[in-house]
Structure 1
Amino acid sequence: MKPAATSLLRTWVSRARSLAAAIAAVVAIGGQAAAQSAPDAENGRYAMTPIPEGVLRLDTRTGTVSTCTKNGAGWACYAVPDERSALDAEIGRLQVEVEKLKAELATGPTVSGKVDEALPKSDQLKKAPPKVAEGDRRIEIPLPSDQDMDRVMSFLERAWRRLIEMANRVQKDVSGKI
C-alpha cells in the first residue's frame, strides 16, 4: 500500500471515529430528550443537541447529521459531510488493488532481486590451477613471465638500496654520538 494512501486512510478513520462519537452522543442525548418530550406529530425524527456554533441535528430515519446555525435571515442547516461513504469507497478501491497485486504475484516471479542460491564467486586476479598432463599424471607449474621477473627484481633492488641507506644512517648516528 502506498504511504500517501495509508496516511489518507488513517485520517479518514480518525475522522469517522470522531463523527461516530458525535453521533453516539447525539443519539444518547436525543434519545433521552425524545423519550421525555417528543410530540407524536414529529415522531421523534430529529434529535437536537446544542453545540457552541448552534445545534447538531440527527435525522433518526436517514442517519444524516446536520449543523444548524442562526444567521441574519434565520436558521440554516447544512449536512455534515458523510466521511463513512468516502471511507468505504477508499477501502473498496484498496481491496480491489490488493486483489490485483495478489493476482500479479501469483502469475509468476517477475521481481528481480535476491535469490535463494548464492552466486558463484570469481576472482579475476586468481591464476589458473596447475594443469595435469593426461598421460603421466604430472603437475605442470607455469613459469613466471619476463614481466613478472622484472617486477620482482625492481622491488628487490629498491628494498636493498633502502636497507643500505638505513644502515649508513645508523652508522653515522652511532659514530657521531660515541
Structure 2
Amino acid sequence: MRKVIAGLAFVSPLLLAGPGLAEGEGRYQMERTAEGFVRLDTVTGEVSLCKEASGQMACRMAADERAAFEVELDSLTRRVEALEKAEKSALSDDKPRLPTDEEIDRTMGIMERMMRRLMAIVKNLEGEEEKIAPQQPVPEKT
C-alpha cells in the first residue's frame, strides 16, 4: 500500500495539471514529462516511467516499485530454495527401513500367542457344543 501512495504522491501533481480520467477511458493514464511519460495504472496505482525510442514506447517500473519488486523476488527465491532443500532431504529419508530381527521375533511371538488363544477358544466352543447336543451317529442311507 505504501508503494501505491508513494507512486500517487509522485504522479498527483501531474494528474492535477492534466485532464482527468474520463468515464470509459482505458486502465492506464499517460502524462507527458520532460523525459518522456509517466504511466499510471488506475486500477492498482502502480507508476511506470516510459520513454519513446525508435517509434516505440518502453516503460519501466518506478524506483520505489522496483525496490519492492526486488524485495519480493528475493523473498520468493529464498522460499523456493528452502522448499527444494526440504524436498531433497525428504526424498533421501523415504527409503524403507526393514524390521530388525528383534522386531520380527517380537511380532511373531505376539501372533503365536493370538493363534493359541484363538485355537483354545475354538476348542472350548466345540466342547460346549458336544455337551449340549452329543453327536449322534448319522444313519447310513443305502
TM-score tier, shorter chain, comes to 0.3 to 0.5
TM-score for both structures, normalised by structure 2? 0.35
Q: Which has the larger radius of gyration?
A: 1
